[in-house]
């Protein structure tokens, strides 16, 4: 962008007067990934001194997840920031050739290895932006050549995708990074994603199941209808009622009850019965369940101003509803 050019300047200029640099800036501000051959692997131009946080989920489960920070820019900065971390890696000639054949293009093995050597990150959207969540979306970032390299499965990142409603076919491999994007009008920017948000029961994960299904229904209605008919994992039931919400996560049913923030676990009492969950304090709530649960497999945790009760199903069949009514 030319010195002193601001988003408002770009909006007011006629298209024919925009320079190439200004056209690229205009696109990037709107979330369009534009990569020039000469700039691949280089750090993006930063936007002032603002930074944002994102989280790394190592493929090695013995390694803790960690919070990292990056410099903000116009659009999504993470693909360019993370690309170099995925540079290198090994892949057999056979796997590379199979990829070339699937592309249907005349690409040499040496060219493919050159691309791998430079590194590249691709993104996978875990949660869509909606008016209800403040136009924020959550993305997983992964090695674009993970399949070619035969990277091992990342169990924690894959489990996160399940909790967002994605089916068993959605598997992440290698080190995975999680970041948040926010739309401000027509402009896109990276904003903070913090470590506690990886915890089971985090509000954004709970909302993602419904939000992703609604997005699929509005943008790909035929695919949504087919998924509903076949009962795939991304169509597991959920609901939100006065005083609680719930979702079927496969082997368990998760019930979320909002409470005041800062309440300690010693001030919370939850009782589990064969077909009932009862909250005694700090709020009073009794839910008569539609199916049996395994008492020894039930527990609760506290997360961001809510009780998260996990109920182990007595039968693996899906729950169509929570309550026996």
**Domain range list for the chain:** 45-198, 238-325
Cα–Cα nearest to 143, from 151, 131, 155, 135 = 151
Task: Say what percent of the chain tops pLDDT 90.
Answer: 36
Q: How far is 88 from 119, CA to CA, in rounded Å? A: 6
- Range with lowest mean pLDDT among 37-46, 249-258, 279-288: 37-46
pLDDT tier for residue 106 given thresholds of 50, 70 and 90: low
- pLDDT-based confidence at 279, cuts 50/70/90? very high
Name 108's bridge partners.
Answer: none
**pLDDT tens, 41-72?**
455 555 568 999 999 999 998 999 999 999 99
**What is the pTM assigned to this prediction?**
0.57
Average pLDDT for residues 317-322, to the nearest whole number? 84
CATH code of the domain occupying 238-325: 2.60.40.790
Average pLDDT over residues 111-120: 73
Beta-carbon neighbour count of residue 177 at 10 Å? 22
Report pLDDT digits (tens) over 121-178: 999 999 999 888 889 999 999 998 787 777 899 999 999 998 888 888 889 999 999 9
The predicted pLDDT at position 63 comes to 93
How does 97-106 read in b/e, with b if 16+ C-beta sit within 10 Å?
Answer: eeebeeeeee
**Distance set, CA 187 to CA 51, 73, 134, 136 (Å):** 17, 11, 14, 12
- Whether 92 has a pLDDT exceeding 80, the answer reads no
pLDDT confidence band for 321 (50 / 70 / 90): confident
Tell me the C-alpha distance between 240 and 247, whole Å: 9
Is pLDDT at 204 greater than 80 in this prediction?
Answer: yes
Tokens found for residue 318 = 């899906």
Give the list of residues 6+ apart from residue 19 with CB closer than 8 angstroms, or none. Answer: 2
Q: By CB neighbour count within 10 A (0-12 exposed, 13-18 middle, 19+ buried), where does 86 fall?
A: buried
Q: What is the pLDDT of residue 212?
A: 84
When pLDDT is cut at 50, 70 and 90, the band that residue 39 belongs to is very low
82-96, 111-125, 180-194, 221-235 — most confident range:
180-194
User: Per residue in 136-150, pLDDT tens?
Assistant: 999 999 998 787 777
Is 302 a residue whose pLDDT tops 90?
no
Q: Lowest mean pLDDT: which of 13-27, 65-79, 106-120, 128-142? A: 13-27
């Amino acid at each position: 962008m030319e010195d002193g050019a601001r988003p408002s300047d770009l909006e007011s200029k006629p298209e024919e007067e925009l320079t190439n640099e200004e056209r690229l800036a205009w696109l990037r501000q709107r979330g369009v990934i534009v990569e020039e051959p000469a700039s691949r692997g280089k750090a993006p131009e930063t936007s002032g001194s603002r930074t944002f946080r994102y989280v790394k989920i190592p493929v090695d489960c013995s390694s803790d997840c960690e919070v990292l920070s990056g410099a903000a820019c116009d659009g999504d900065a993470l693909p360019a920031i993370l690309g170099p971390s995925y540079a290198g890696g090994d892949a057999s000639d056979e796997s590379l050739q199979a990829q070339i054949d699937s592309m249907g293009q005349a690409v040499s093995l040496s060219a493919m290895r050159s691309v791998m050597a430079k590194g590249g990150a691709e993104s996978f959207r875990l949660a869509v932006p909606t008016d209800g969540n403040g136009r924020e979306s959550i993305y997983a970032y992964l090695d674009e050549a993970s399949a070619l390299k035969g990277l091992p499965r990342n169990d924690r990142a894959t489990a996160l995708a399940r909790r967002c409603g994605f089916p068993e076919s959605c598997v992440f491999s290698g080190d995975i990074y999680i970041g948040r994007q926010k739309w401000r009008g027509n402009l896109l920017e990276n904003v903070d994603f913090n470590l506690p948000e990886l915890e089971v029961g985090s509000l954004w994960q709970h909302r993602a199941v419904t939000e992703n299904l609604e997005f699929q229904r509005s943008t790909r209605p035929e695919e949504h209808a087919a998924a509903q008919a076949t009962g795939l994992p991304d169509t597991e039931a959920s609901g939100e009622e006065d005083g609680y919400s719930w979702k079927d996560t496969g082997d368990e049913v998760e019930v979320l009850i909002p409470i005041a923030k800062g309440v300690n676990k010693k001030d919370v009492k939850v009782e589990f019965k064969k077909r009932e969950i009862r909250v005694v304090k700090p709020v009073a709530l009794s839910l008569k369940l539609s199916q049996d649960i395994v008492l020894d497999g039930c527990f609760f945790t506290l997360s961001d101003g809510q009780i998260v009760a996990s109920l182990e199903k007595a039968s693996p069949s899906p729950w169509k509803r929570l309550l026996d009514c």
